[in-house]
Structures are given as structure tokens and as C-alpha cells.
Amino acid sequence: MSFSVNFPLFLIVLSLISSVVSSLLPRRAARVTALTLYALSFAGNLTLFLYLRTLSGPVNYLMGHFPHPWGNELILNPVEAAFSALFSLVLFLCILGGHHPLEEKIAPNKQHFYYVMTDLVQASLLVLVYTNDLFTGYVFIEICTLSSCGILMIRENGRTILASIRYMIFSLIGSGLFLFGVIFLYNLTGHLLMPDLKESLTALYVSGEYHLPLLAAMSLICIGLAIKSGLCPFHLWMADTYGAAIPASSAILSGLISKGYIFFLIKVILSVFGKYIFYANGLHNVLYVLGAAGIVIGSVSALQEDNIFRMIAYSSAAQIGYIYMGIGLSATVGMEAALFQILTHAMTKPALFLAVAHLSRSANNVKKFHNLQGAAFKNPFAGFAFTFGAFSMIGLPFTMGFISKYLFGLGAFDSTHTKLVPTLIVLAISTILNTLYFARTVIRLYNKPAEDIYRRTGLFSQKSYVLAGIAFIFINLFFGIFARSFIAVLAAGLPQF
Amino acid sequence: MKQNPKKKNSFFEHLREWDEGNFDLTEAAMGELHPPRPERKHQNMDWVHHHLVRMEAREVSFFEHLYPFMAVILAAAMILFLLVVVSEMPAFGRADTPTNTSVVIKRYIGNGLEETGAVNIVAGVILDYRAFDTLGESHVLFTAAIAVFILLLQEHDEKEKQQDLRILKNDLILRKTATVLLPLIIMFGVYVILCGHLGPGGGFSGGAIIGGGLILYSMAFNTGNLGRVINMRSYRIIVLCALLSYSILKCYSFFCGANGLHTIFTTGTPGAIFSAGLILPLNTAVGLVVACTMYGFYSIFTKGRI
């Protein structure tokens, strides 16, 4: 079992190798390689999780012969292992359920490049989750940015190219600000490894020296990662990006890549800035306000949208607002709620994107809301999966959405008095708005279409999607019903950051 | 020209038409933004949609006047903010700044030579102490190359016609200079890569030099004989071998380091060409990737293929 601490290294290197090899393989072989890799990554990280749970503290894994002020390092703790296992699982299911529409829309000589890019996404997600080094994080943020632009623009039509230019500009501004922040921190302390940075930043903060640069560095890092993950005033790239991309890409971009950045931000907050400095400077209040604004603005924009893909994209903006609101609430219960919400969103949004993609495919590739009338009769399974995803987004009991809303409620009571009432009001408003736009869509989907004769897409003509959809539903129910043990893992793992 | 019917109305098609001069992009954009009003009888929803698009276009044109001003104000505010912050930071170049006094730098400079075997401390830091970052860095190049392939890679016969326009043909001075300079440039690049652990240089700079030499030759001779050596197939094989060997060697070294095992690579005698453990092979791999990526970018941007 103790050998499993080597798995992250092997999986990262394996992802990089398989991305390089996939660029020479034909499409089908590249897909099989990718799926095998994600399955292996899930299994490996799960084994590691089971091993790490038996330990009392995190494991520092040296990347080379030099320990932490000098050489690169990974840090392994149960929360990280659980998240990377689940991220790999979602990536597996996205590719499994989304590869049919994907291969219809990409030029045949470029299809294998898609899997090159998703392998790189896998590598960078693993590193972002496990790294103990701020600069390694930056390098793999770059890989993540480039590969997410790749999976976006591989569908070469005008709208997608424009969307990816916009996404790239936003993303690069985000990386640039993050890099500024890292440089400032290095200049102030001379360290890049997280534990040493935390130590010297705490000393610096206590001594009161260089207060302004310290604050500037922290806010630049937060803003940079917030832009990349689409917090409220910077969420404008989302609708275009998720609306124009291939469904599998929208699922990966919304479910995994933005979550990877947010997980990395949480990690930076806890293990570089430290709870004390971050929450003493009032930066969390900024994230709280922006998050709460994002929830309301995202939901209202989703309500106004008549393109179903863009509607779900705006709903993503609202869900990301929840995560930032959780970070802003408190370092304990609020942070747990934020982490659980990351998981909820990573499990639900890809399922919704894939379901909508298959619904629209059964109804002659329409995207407009009013053309989708009765689409659930044409593709019953996708209709069911969409309805279930919508229930989870609204937060009905036994789904993950319920648990995360419950945790946000707890977090509100755990935080200061000034935040209690606004949080509860925002939760209520957003639940109502969520219900409005999802109920509207579900009713539209289950309205009998005007024509009586339609071709029904059966279960067996879309086997891989049905498998992925069932898996998404089961995982959702599993975490919705047995949430208590997972929350216990989060609560035990958070102090280890 | 052979045309893919799916691509007929794509952005690229418009751009190519515009490039060839028989299409006015602004006019088409105006046409898209102000669509002709469709007949109202059957297409009620469509009419509403078109109306909305027209309104949106008007709004956009209003905001477009504001954009330059807002962008300037934002950039100025950002510049001011960063300048104020930088003025508060530890002064650059002084001996007592935190960067210069931290334990990290002291060990890199004090023990770097004996621990890594590299006379060039920078090479020791990026390829031994912090080799994982450099592994990521070389894959950033690979990712960028693949992203450019996705965007610009074309079928073989598509662009033959346009090649003649863009390449400087029959330029005697350029050709003679390139013929003389190419071997020297390549030799210098190889020297910079191979001596990366002994002096200034390394994979990134040497690779850039070789890539520049290849680009010069390719400019002068329109690929010419270079196409026999570096084509899509050999390009991919070189990049594959370089990145694979980098990943596998470094994975072995990381694995040994993390588990406290001895590696078979020793630091050797500092100053000798075969010393400094893995740094020489890693520099070579990085150099190959950088050279191939640079040449690949040039080739893809001008010809649409390698």
C-alpha cells in the first residue's frame, strides 16, 4: 500500500507520455489510450486515497533528490487524492459520453489531436491538485490554458474561433496576473515552495514589513485565478465558450478545468497565504461579494437566454459564484461547502451538457429553446438525465445539490453576523431562479411536440452515452445519500493543507 | 480549389477570400450584423430573432466607442498600481534582499557544483533541483505546437498555389548567405546545447539558435532539400523521442529521489563534457524540442504544413 505514494508521479508522467504518443496514433487508438489512462488514474488515485486515510498527516513526495526549500515537491493528502480520483472519473465519463458528437464535428485529420489535448488536461489537473510548488502550478496552468483553447477551437467554425480568441485573452490575462503575484511573493521571500512561503509570509506579516506588496501579491493571485475560473465580473467569456464548443469540450471546460483552477486557488489560500493572513486582510470579503453577485447575475442571465447551451453556461457562472461565496464565508465550514460544491458542479454540469447535446442531436441539432419542444420524447434517456441533473442543480434531497446548499446554510451560520442574512437571502433567490429556468426547460422538453411521428433514439444506439449518464446519476445519488462520510473526509483533510 | 462544403461559410473561408482580394470583410460583417428583414408571414420567431440581432448590433456599436477609452483608463490604473507596488518592494540588485539572502540561493550557489556536477549553476537549477518545472515547460512547447497544428494544419495539395507568393524566390544574396551561414549556425547551436552544463547556454537557447538557422534556410530555398530531412513524419518522431526520453529519464530520477535510492547517473568530474548526470541528455532533448517547435511554427504559419 505504501507504494501507492508513487502513483501521482507515475500518472503525471504517463499522462504526458500518452499525450505525446497520441499525437502519432490514429483516432480510435488515441481514444482508447485516453480512456485507459483516465481509468488508471481513477484507480490509482483511489488506492492512494485509501492509503492516505490511514495516515495522520500529509506525505511530502520529492520530485528529485532535494527536499523542500530547494527542489520540486508534491504533497499528498486524502482530500487531494479524492479530488483527483473524481476529476479523472469525470474526464473519463465526458470522453465516453461525448465522443460521438465530437467525431462528427472535427475534421478527420485532426481528431486524434483532441485526445492529445485531453491527456494534457489530465496531466495538468493532477499537478494542480498535487503540487507543493507555486511555480510548478504556474507552468501547468499554462499547459491547462493552451490545451483548453485547443479543445475549444478544434471545431473550426467562425463562432468557435471567436469564442476561443475571447477565452484565450481572458485566460492569458488571468495567467499574467497570477505570474505577477508569484514574482512578487518570490521577491518578498525568496521561496517558491508552499510550506516555506507560508512560513516566511507569516513572519513578514507579523513584522508588518512590506505590507502593501504582500497584499498586492495576494490579490493578484486571487484575481488571476478568479478570471480564469469565471467569477462574476469576469464571467463574460463563459456563455460564448461553453455555448460554441463541442459538447464534450464544454463539459470538460466547465466541469474540470475551471474547477482545477479553483482547487488550486483554495490550496494557495490555505497552504501559501495561510488562513490567518488571508482572512485577516478582508480579501475573502471581496470574493464573497463577487461570488454572491455572480450567483444572482448568472441566474438572471440564464433566465433570459434562449439558447439552451448558453443557458447552462450562465448557470455555471452562478454555480462558480457559490464556490467563491463559500471561500468567503469561513475557513472551516465555508471551505468545506466550497469543496463540496466543486464536486457537485463537476459531477452535474458535464452530465447536463452531455444530455443537452444528445437531446439537440436527436432533434436535428437545434440549439434554440423553442425548437427543443418534446425533445425528451425523441431521446428518453437524455431527457431523464437532463431532468435528474436539473434536480441536482436546484437542490432536491438525495442529490448532491441538496448537500452543498445545506452546507452553505451551515457555513452562513458559522460565519460573521453580517454575512448570515445576505447568504441566506442569496441562497433563497438563487434556488428560486434555478428552479424557474430549469423547470421551464424540463417542461418544454416534456411537452408533446407538434408532429406526432418522430424517430426515437433508443438506448442501444447510444450505448456509451447511456453508460456515462447512468454513471453520473449513480455517483450523484451516492454522494447525495452518503454525504456524511465524505464531509468527514473533507473536515479531516482540510487542516492538512 | 477543392472545397469542403462544411467549411464554405466559415470564418477562415471568409478570411482567405479577403486575403485573395475578392471579398470585403467589413461589408460582410455589416451584412451579418444588419441582416435583411425576412418575410413576416411564416417566420414570426425568426423575425423577432433578427430584430434582436439588429438591436444588439446597435448596442455593440455604441460600446465600441467606449472601449478604447475604458481600456486606456484600465491599463493606466493597472500601471500605476503596479508601479506603486514595485516601489515598495525590496530594491533590485541589493545584496540584502530576501531573494539574495534566502537559504535557497545559498545552497544553489554554494553547493550547486558538487551536488549537480554542473559548472553552469542555472542549468543545475532548472534541470536538477527544479527539473519537474522544466519537464512541464517542454510540454508547454509541445502543447503550443499541437494547438497551432489544430488551427492551421492543412491537407497537402491545398496551398501549393500560394506558396510561390510568400517565399522569397531566387534571391541570390539571401541564398548564398544562407548556404554559408547554415552550417555555422547549426554547429553553434549544437555547441550551446552540448556545453549547456559547462557554460552559458543550454537546451532552450541552443534549440532556438538551431531553429533560427533552419528558418533562415527554409526562407531562402523554399524548404528545398530541407523537406527531405524535416517533414511531418520525422518532425513527429524527433519530438516524440525527445519528450519520451525526457519524461522517462526524469521519471526514473524522481522515483529514485523520492524513495531514497541511488541512481546510476553520477555527477562525474565537473567540467568534463560527460558529467553532471542527466543534464546533458536532458539539455539535448529540450534543444531538439525547441528547435523543432520553432521551425514547425514558421513552417505551419507560412505553408500550412511541415
* Closest CA–CA distance from residue B151 to any residue of chain A (Å): 7
The pLDDT assigned to B34 comes to: 44
Mean pLDDT of B225-252: 86
Contact B85 A216 (CB under 8 A): yes
Q: Which residues of B touch A188 (CB under 8 A)?
A: 89-90, 98
Chain position carrying cell 553520477:
B266
The pLDDT assigned to B59 comes to: 63
Q: What is the DSSP letter of A120?
A: H
Determine which of A116-125, B3-12, B199-208, B272-281 has the lowest per-residue pLDDT on average. B3-12
Q: Given CA atoms A385, A390, A395, A401 in this order, what sign does their dihedral have?
A: positive
DSSP string, B241-256: HHHHHHHHHHHHHHHH
Taking every pair of Cα atoms in chain B, the longest distance, rounded to a whole number of angstroms, is 88
Residue A29 C-alpha from the chain's centroid: 27
Determine which of B12-16, B30-34, B282-286 has the lowest per-residue pLDDT on average. B30-34
Contact A135 B146 (CB under 8 A): no
Q: Which residues of A touch B132 (CB under 8 A)?
A: 63-64, 72, 133, 136
Please report, as a single letter, which amino acid is at residue B283.
N
Which tens digits make up the pLDDT trace of A136-152? 999 999 999 999 999 98
Note whether ipTM > 0.85 here. Answer: yes
Q: Which residues of B touch A154 (CB under 8 A)?
A: 150
Contact A70 B129 (CB under 8 A): yes
3-state secondary structure of A44: helix
Whether A241 contacts A313, CB under 8 Å: yes
Where do runs of H (alpha helix) occur along A330-395? 333-362, 375-378, 380-394
Q: Which residues in chain A land under pLDDT 50? A: none
Which tens digits make up the pLDDT trace of B54-106? 666 666 667 777 888 899 999 999 999 999 999 988 888 888 888 888 888 88
The pLDDT assigned to A153 comes to: 87
The pLDDT assigned to B27 comes to: 47
Q: Which residues of B touch A123 (CB under 8 A)?
A: 139
CA distance B258 to A334: 35
Flag whether pLDDT at B26 surpasses 50: no
Q: How confident is the model at residue B20 (pLDDT cuts 50, 70, 90)?
A: low
Domain edges within chain B: 119-303
Select the residue of A10, A64, A156 nearest B128 (Cβ to Cβ).
A64
Whether B261 contacts A19, CB under 8 Å: no
The pLDDT assigned to B47 comes to: 63
Q: Which of A33, A125, A139 is the best mutation test for B, with the most CBs of B within 10 A?
A: A139
Residue of B nearest to A180 (CA): B82
Which residues lie closer than 8 Å to A146 by C-beta, 6 or more apart? A120, B140, B143, B144, B147
Q: What are phi and psi of A397, to 5 degrees?
A: -55, 155
Contact A9 B153 (CB under 8 A): no
Q: Which residues of A touch B89 (CB under 8 A)?
A: 184, 187-188, 210, 213
Please give the share of chain B, as a percent, with pLDDT higher than 90.
21
Q: How confident is the model at residue B23 (pLDDT cuts 50, 70, 90)?
A: low
Domain edges within chain A: 1-273, 282-497
Residue of B nearest to A104 (CA): B6
CB-based contact (8 Å) between B75 and chain A?
A: no
Report how many Cβ contacts below 8 Å link chain A to chain B: 183
CA distance A433 to A294: 13
Which residues lie closer than 8 Å to A117 by C-beta, 6 or more apart? A19, A147, A148, A150, A151, A154, B143, B146, B147, B150
Contact A20 B243 (CB under 8 A): yes
Q: What is the DSSP letter of A372?
A: G
Q: Which of A17, A65, A119, A168 is the best mutation test for B, with the most CBs of B within 10 A?
A: A65
Identify the H or E element spanning B157.
none
- A204-223 burial, b at 16+ Cβ within 10 Å, e below that, comes to bbeeeebeebbbbbbbbbbb
3-state secondary structure of B138: helix
Residue of A nearest to B116 (CA): A65
Which tens digits make up the pLDDT trace of A224-275? 999 999 888 888 888 888 888 888 899 999 989 999 999 999 999 999 998 8
> Cell numbers of A395, please?
437542490
The pLDDT assigned to B1 comes to: 47
Predicted TM-score of the model (pTM)? 0.89
Contact A147 B143 (CB under 8 A): yes
Cα–Cα–Cα angle for A272, A275, A279, rounded to 5 degrees: 115
Q: How confident is the model at residue B25 (pLDDT cuts 50, 70, 90)?
A: very low
Whether A291 contacts A325, CB under 8 Å: yes
Which residues lie closer than 8 Å to A419 by C-beta, 6 or more apart? A288, A328, A329, A412
CB-based contact (8 Å) between B231 and chain A?
A: no
Flag whether pLDDT at B164 surpasses 90: no
Where do runs of H (alpha helix) occur along A106-210? 111-130, 134-153, 158-189, 194-207
Q: Average pLDDT, whole number, for chain B?
A: 79
Which tens digits make up the pLDDT trace of B106-143? 888 888 888 888 888 888 888 888 889 989 998 999 99
CB-based contact (8 Å) between B301 and chain A?
A: no
Which tens digits make up the pLDDT trace of A191-232? 999 999 999 999 999 998 888 999 999 999 999 999 999 888
Report the number of secondary-structure helices (H) and strands (E) in chain A.
21, 2
